[in-house]
Amino acid sequence: MSANPDKAALRRTLRQRRAALDIASRRQASLAIMQRALQNGYLRRGSRIAVYAPMGSELSTWPLILRAIQAGCQVFLPQIPRRGRQMRFVRFDETVSWRRDQFNIPVPIHPQTCVARDLSLVFVPLVGFDLRLARLGQGGGYYDTTFHFRRSRKIWKKPRLIGLAYECQRVKALPVEPWDLHLDEIITENNTYRPPA
C-alpha cells in the first residue's frame, strides 16, 4: 500500500479538527453515539462485537463498550500483529488484564480470541469519512487487510462494519484507493449515515 500525499495532508487537517473539540463536546458525542447504537438495535445479547479502545483524540468508545457488556454482547478489542496486517480480536470482560503493544496501545490479555469472520459487527475507528461511506483510517492498512475477505461477497457481508466519528470528521469526498475499506454505516453524534439509495 503506497502513501498518498493527499491523504497524509487530509489526515493532519482532520486530526487537528478532532483534537480541537472540547472535553464536554467529546463526552456528549460518545454518549450520543452509544445511544444511537442502542436505538439502531446493534447491541444484541450473545452477538460478537468488536470495538476499538480509543487513543488520543479518537472518539471515546467506553460508554458503548460498557453498554454492550450490560446488553449481554461478547465484546472484543482488536490486536495489532507484530508482523503483517491481519488483526485478531481479544475478549474484553471483567476478568481481563492489560499490556501495551509495540505501538504503546493498551491491549487486553484474555484466553478467548476471535477471528474477523466470526464477528457479528465491528465498530471501526476513522480519521475521516464521506457520504459514500468511504473511510480514511490512520494509514496502517490493518482494517483494510483484516476485512478484505468481504470484497468477494456479493450478498452477505458479515461482519457489519460501522464507523464511529465526530461530525467534524466528515468531508465532501475522500481520495479512495482500490483496497480502501467502505463501511456499511457511520454513526456520529448527530447522524446515522447509510449507503445512498
DSSP string, 151-189: GG-SS--PSEEEEE--GGGB-S-----TTPPBPSEEE-S
**Stretch (H or E) spanning 192:** strand 192-193
pLDDT at 154 over 70: no
- Band of pLDDT at residue 104, cut at 50, 70 and 90: confident
Q: State the pLDDT at residue 55.
A: 87
Report the pLDDT averaged over residues 81-89: 89
Confidence band, pLDDT 50/70/90 cuts, at residue 1: very low
Bigger pLDDT: 78 or 5? 78
**CA 144, 150, 151 angle in degrees (round to 5)?**
85
pLDDT, mean over the chain: 90
pLDDT average, residue stretch 20-32: 96
Residue at grid coordinates 480514511: 136
Mean pLDDT for 64-70 is 97
The CATH number corresponding to 5-193 among 3.90.380.10, 3.40.50.10420, 3.40.50.2300, 3.90.79.10 equals 3.40.50.10420
* Per-residue model confidence (pLDDT) at position 4: 65
Lowest mean pLDDT segment, chosen from 28-32, 46-50, 140-144, 151-155 = 151-155
Question: How far are the Cα atoms of 68, 101, 175 from residue 81, in angstroms, in the given order?
Answer: 25, 9, 27
> Does residue 196 carry a pLDDT above 90?
no
